[in-house]
Structure 1
Amino acid sequence: MTAPGTVPRPVYLWTPPLNSGQLATVLNRLRGWTAFDGGALLDDIAAALDDVPPAEGDTAPLAERLRGHLARLVTIAVAREAYRDTTAAQLALLARTLQTEPLPPRAPGGDSAPAPAGLDRQRTSRPAHRPPLPQEGRAA
Structure 2
Amino acid sequence: MTSVTLPRRDASADVPRWVRPVQPTRLPDRAKVEAALAAVRAWHPYDGDAWLDDVADALDTVPPPEDLVDELAQRLRGYLMQLVSYARNSEVEKQDGRATRLITRAREVREEELPRDYLKSVVHLRRMGWAVNELHDLLTELEAVKGPDSLKEGGTP
TM bracket (short chain) = 0.5 to 0.7
> Deviation per CA, 1:11-37, whole angstroms, max 9, x where unpaired?
x83678x76537x83972444433222
Q: Tell me the residue number matched to 1:25.
A: 33
Q: Tell me the residue number matched to 2:135.
A: none
Q: Tell me the residue number matched to 2:47.
A: 37
Structure-1 separation of matches of 2:44 and 2:107: 21
1:13 to 15, 21, 27: 21
Give the C-alpha shift of residue 49 in structure 1.
2.4
Is the Cα–Cα contact under 8 Å of residues 103 and 123 in structure 1 kept in the other structure? Answer: no
User: Equivalent residues in 2 for 1:1-140 (5 A)?
Assistant: 13=21, 20-21=27-28, 25=33, 28=37, 29-84=39-94, 85-104=96-115, 105=117, 106=119, 119-120=122-123, 122-124=125-127
Give the number of the structure whose alpha-carbon radius of gyration is greater: 2
**SS of the residue 1:34 aligns to:** coil
> Deviation per CA, 1:28-58, whole angstroms, max 9, x where unpaired?
2444433222222111112122343321100
**Which structure: greater helix fraction?**
2
> Deviation per CA, 1:35-94, whole angstroms, max 9, x where unpaired?
222222111112122343321100121112112111110111011111222110111011
Structure-2 separation of matches of 1:67 and 1:50: 18
Superposition RMSD on alpha carbons, in Å? 3.4
Q: Tell me the residue number matched to 1:131.
A: none
Structure-1 separation of matches of 2:88 and 2:72: 24
> Tell me, which stretches of 5 or more residues in structure 1 are unaligned?
1-11, 108-117, 126-140
Read off the aligned partner of 2:88 and give its amino acid letter: V
> Deviation per CA, 1:91-127, whole angstroms, max 9, x where unpaired?
10111111222234426xxxxxxxxxx95462349xx
Structure-1 separation of matches of 2:101 and 2:123: 25
TM-score (norm 2): 0.51
Read off the aligned partner of 1:21 and give its amino acid letter: P
TM-score (norm 1): 0.56
Aligned CA distance change for structure 1 residues 40 and 20 (closer, same or farther; 3 Å) = farther
Q: Could you tell me the percent identity over the aligned residues?
A: 36
**SS of the residue 2:113 aligns to:** coil
Structure-1 separation of matches of 2:41 and 2:70: 28
Kindly tell me the number of residue pairs found equivalent between the two proteins.
104
Is the Cα–Cα contact under 8 Å of residues 103 and 124 in structure 1 kept in the other structure? Answer: no
**SS of the residue 1:102 aligns to:** coil
Structure-2 separation of matches of 1:19 and 1:37: 39
